[in-house]
Amino acid sequence: MSKASRVEIIVLTGPQGSGKSTLSRLLLARCPSRCRLVKLDAYTFFHISYIRIVNRLFRRVGVIVRFYEDLPPAFSAPPSAYRKLMPLMVALHLLGFLASQVKLLLARRGAQVLMEDEGFVFKQIPDLLFLAGWSGSHRSKPLLKLLSFSTLFLLTAARRLDPVIVWLRADHGTLQARYGRRGTPIEPRIYVEFQERLRASLLRGFRVLELDAARLSPEEEVAAVARLLGWR
C-alpha cells in the first residue's frame, strides 16, 4: 500500500471509565473529514453469549460470585464448567475477531483515519485470559497451549495493521470517583489491575502514546494525540 493511500488506525485502550469515549468524540469533532469511528468489539457478543450458555447449562451446580463491587453477588456456573468449555470460548473469540476484521475492511473505504475506542485486541485478550485464569484453564497444558496460540494469533494480526495505540491510564481511585459520578457499577480492582499489567506486556512493539487520564484534561489529551499524528 502506498503512503498516500495508507489508512491510519488509532486504537484507544485503557480501563472502563478512563475516558476513551470522550477522547474519541473530541478527536472526531476536531477532524471530522479525516476520522471515522469503527467499533472492533464483535467478540463481546460471543463472549457474553458464551457466559450465558455456560451458566444455563450448569445452572444446577452454580455458585454465587461477586464481580462488581457495588452490586449484589450473582449466579455463575462453577469454574470447572468454564474450564471444560474453554475451547469453545477461544473459538468464539477468534470468530469475533474475524467479524471485526470484515467490519474494518469495509470501514477503510474512503477513510484517512479509523478510530477504535473499545480497546480492540488489547481489551479482548485480557477478557479472555481473565476468565481462563478464574476457571483454572491455565493449569491444563493443552488449554494453556490453546490460549497461547490464540493470544499470539490476535497480537500478530493486530501488529500487521500497525495501529497507533493511545493508552489512557488511570488508577483505581480515579476510576472509582468517575463511576460514582456516573452512577454505574465499578469493576473490581483485581480485574482492572490485571488488565493493566497484561496490557503493558501486550503493547510491546507497538506505537504507543501513554496518557495520564487522572492528570490530563480531555483537551490536553486531544492535543497530545494531534501532535503525535501531525495534525494541525
Q: What is the pLDDT of residue 70?
A: 64
> Residue 1 pLDDT more than 50?
no
Give the per-residue pLDDT at 71.
Answer: 66
| 25: its cell numbers | 468524540
Between 106-110, 144-148, 216-220, the lowest mean confidence (pLDDT) is in 106-110
34-38, 75-79, 160-164: least confident range: 34-38
Q: Please check the confidence at residue 34 and state whether its pLDDT lies above 80.
A: no
182 in Cβ contact with 22 (< 8 Å): no
- pLDDT given at position 69: 67
Predicted confidence band of residue 119 (pLDDT cuts 50, 70, 90): very high
Instruction: Kindly indicate the confidence band of residue 5, based on its pLDDT and cuts at 50, 70 and 90.
Output: low
Mean pLDDT value of segment 116-135: 94
Region 110-129 average pLDDT: 92
Lowest mean pLDDT among 108-112, 155-159, 212-216: 108-112
Beta strands in 21-174, from DSSP E residues, in sequence order: 35-37, 63-65, 74-76, 113-116, 164-169
pLDDT tens sequence across 52-109: 999 999 988 888 887 776 667 788 999 999 999 999 999 999 999 999 999 998 998 8
Alpha-carbon gap, residue 196 to 200, rounded angstroms? 6
Does residue 15 surpass a pLDDT of 60? yes
Q: How far is CA 135 from CA 2, 27, 86, 218, in A?
A: 46, 39, 9, 38
> Measured between alpha carbons, how far is 197 from 174 in angstroms, rounded to an integer?
17
- Give the mean pLDDT of 158-176: 91
Question: How many C-beta neighbours within 10 Å does residue 8 have?
Answer: 16
pLDDT bucket at 169, cuts 50 / 70 / 90: very high
Specify the pLDDT at position 6. 74
Averaged pLDDT of the chain: 89
CATH 3.30.465.10 fits 8-229, yes or no: no
Q: State how far the alpha carbon of 71 is from the alpha carbons of 139, 184, 194, 201, in Å.
A: 30, 10, 20, 31
Predicted local confidence at residue 2, as pLDDT:
43
Q: Is the pLDDT of residue 32 over 80?
A: no
Cβ pair 17, 170 in contact under 8 A? yes
> What's the CA gap between 169 and 214, in Å, rounded?
7
Reported as a pLDDT band with limits 50, 70 and 90, residue 157 is very high
